[in-house]
Amino acid sequence: MTTDQTNSGIRSSVIPEDRMLITVVMKFTAPKIEEIPAKCNEKIAKSTEAPPWAMPDDSGGYTVQPVPAPFSTMLLTNKSVKAG
């Protein structure tokens, strides 16, 4: 849909007797609406559900932090040197 819009005015130059009526016609073009949504949403990382122990009480917010990694399963070795 294109519509003509006019802008008319008097152009005043250095000499006041020499005035000129100028009419400017501008074409207005409505923005195009994309029927197919952008595909950038496919590349956005999806949030994962946090484990039940890490979920706070329901306060109306969303989980935005990444899910924490599980604790290490390796046994801790005693690095202290025995006296003796």
Least confident residue range of 7-16, 25-34, 58-67: 7-16
User: pTM higher than 0.75 for the full model?
Assistant: no
The confidence score (pLDDT) of residue 25 equals 72
Q: Give the rounded percent of residues in the chain with a pLDDT score beyond 90.
A: 0
Predicted confidence (pLDDT) per residue in 12-32, tens digit = 556 555 566 666 777 777 777
The confidence score (pLDDT) of residue 31 equals 72
pLDDT surpasses 60 at 71: yes
Helix H or strand E encompassing 23:
strand 20-29
